[in-house]
Amino acid sequence: MTNDQIIDAIRAHDWDVTSQGRGAPPSFGALIQAQLSGYDAESRELAAECVADWNGAGAGSLLLSMTADIEPQVAAAAAHGLGRVTQLPPIPTIVAEIPRRQEPFVRGQLYKIVGATRNSQYLETLRAVVAGENSPDAQRDARRALVQLGGQNERAEFRIRVAQAKPDEAMDLHEDLVAIADPRLAKATLPWLSNGASVMRIGSDRSPAMARMCDVAVWTAFLLKIPAAITPAHLAIYSPKVIADVAAALSALPD
């Protein structure tokens, strides 16, 4: 497709066009930016997907600006896209934009993008922004990011939070642990291994198969490659032996 055809397909809400962005020329980003004010919300969302697929020079900056869209659906698509591009805008620029974003989910995504750099030079700057964060959901994402950036206080608090987790926090914390990717932090899930509270369905409406907190702890250990004989290789209701093996492996980890 030519650039003009892509522009028109976006305006016509043709979602098959997203893959076309991949081969688009360097001028694509500027072309899309010029169209945004004339696009409706669905077209702007589709445009964000196309820019992320294009992944050309300037895609990151354009997507960061699109995270300020008044429509949360567009802003979220831009935030997701920003997480996929190869070249991010300068991290301090991203951090500076976070407090200006109304939608807590978008702020959360930006925290995660900064955290994924794992670059400790951004720790203090991000801490200053997180201090003013009032959304519980975005705070969670911010905490993950600060741990990823090497914040020792935040790491200690996170360990406690994991150790004291309630069942409905388990899956969120599981995702955080996998994203942080530090096996030593998984040791904080030791209390989960003796908790049989239901967390997430693995059955269906008519078969009450629910993964338990202990199962989520085992699954987390599996994904973090903590040495233990874990079968099956997917989230399941694990046997007492598997749970015991994981407990032993976690206990052997350094703090």
Q: Summarize as ranges the residues that interact with another protein (CB under 8 A).
A: 15, 18, 42, 49, 69-73, 75-76, 80, 102-106, 136-137, 166-168, 171, 175, 197-211, 219, 233-236
- Comparing CB distances to another protein, the nearer of 54 and 122 is 54
Minimum distance between the CB of residue 57 and another protein, rounded to whole angstroms? Answer: 25
Indicate the Cα dihedral angle 169, 174, 79, 51, nearest 10°: -150
Minimum distance between the CB of residue 104 and another protein, rounded to whole angstroms? Answer: 6
Minimum distance between the CB of residue 189 and another protein, rounded to whole angstroms? Answer: 15
Q: Report residue 82 CA to chain centroid gap.
A: 11
Helix (H, G, I), strand (E, B) or coil at 146: helix
- Comparing CB distances to another protein, the nearer of 125 and 139 is 139
- Comparing CB distances to another protein, the nearer of 163 and 209 is 209
Helix (H, G, I), strand (E, B) or coil at 85: coil
Minimum distance between the CB of residue 133 and another protein, rounded to whole angstroms? Answer: 13
45 Cβ contact partners less than 8 Å away, ≥ 6 residues apart: 71, 73, 74, 77
SS3 content of the chain, % helix, strand, coil (to 5): 65, 5, 30
Residue type, 220: T
Q: Report residue 17 CA to chain centroid gap.
A: 25
- Comparing CB distances to another protein, the nearer of 82 and 123 is 82
Alpha-carbon gap, residue 67 to 80, rounded angstroms: 9
Minimum distance between the CB of residue 56 and another protein, rounded to whole angstroms? Answer: 21
- Comparing CB distances to another protein, the nearer of 171 and 253 is 171
